[in-house]
Structure 1
């Protein structure tokens, strides 16, 4: 996808505040509302904007623990990789799943209310899953940076 300067500014501003009104967005990028809305719709249709969501505080919802789990599989055949991805897609506490190269096949970001609930997920859903060779886990002590999205080139406006 190719973006002009206005598209980049729109993307940056909406990533910072997805609830910004179209009128405010148009004003910030130097357009009137109708062409701004057309650009936003085009960016959505092209897949540059994948969706809008509220950033929730995990602790406010009782998720006081974040764990990263490094999973190694016995087989890396495509069907086995897809089966594992389907399995973790069905575990709501698994918030991210990334396939890696190297010794570890997947890294998972898991939230849990406490150590006991994480232990239950680990022992009943992950370590017992077909094709899982081993799981190494690291509990998060503190988060120094957690930015959503991706860096957008200078979009000040």
Structure 2
């Protein structure tokens, strides 16, 4: 993927699909200014190259009763690659953990967790997360409100520099 050159039409396709992954190929082609067959070919190439990883519905957690969102900052006792990978594997298996990011600095991982209520999160925290092997400490922050939640990348007004990674 890295090093693959995207032209302006490819970037438009990605931006449009990021904004609305449910539009038809005909509508996508119209929006980016090409006919439907080459548009579909381009989308398939972008999928095969890994630029498009999937298509998902954006679900409102609160409408399904998930009222609590928490960020958990996790510090491990040991940070060997084997220990880091073991924690990542464990985090993938926890349903309440929706995102897991390895960081540099004092904190090894930040987890975005979603739970129906504080009692459910507290049970996860005490029985799963803090009890997990190699976990030295966990600090949590309860989300009060979200001012911005934009998935993907900023296509509008931002152009990555060539060779930047």
Greater length-normalized contact order (CA 8 Å, ≥ 6 residues apart)? 1
Please give the secondary structure, in 2, of the residue aligned with 1:66: strand
- Conserved 8 A contact 1:8-1:153: no
User: How many residue pairs end up in the alignment?
Assistant: 155
Within a 5 Å distance, the mapping from 1:1-157 to structure 2 comes to: 1-153=4-156
Unaligned ranges ≥5, structure 2:
158-165
TM-score (norm 1): 0.96
Q: Could you list the structure 1 runs, at least 4 aligned residues long, displaced by more than 3 angstroms after superposition.
A: none
CA distance in 1, matches of 2:156, 2:147: 23
Question: What secondary structure, in the 3-state scheme, does the structure 1 residue paired with 2:70 have?
Answer: strand
Q: What do the CA deviations read for 1:26-58 (whole angstroms, capped 9, x no partner)?
A: 111111110000000000000000100000000
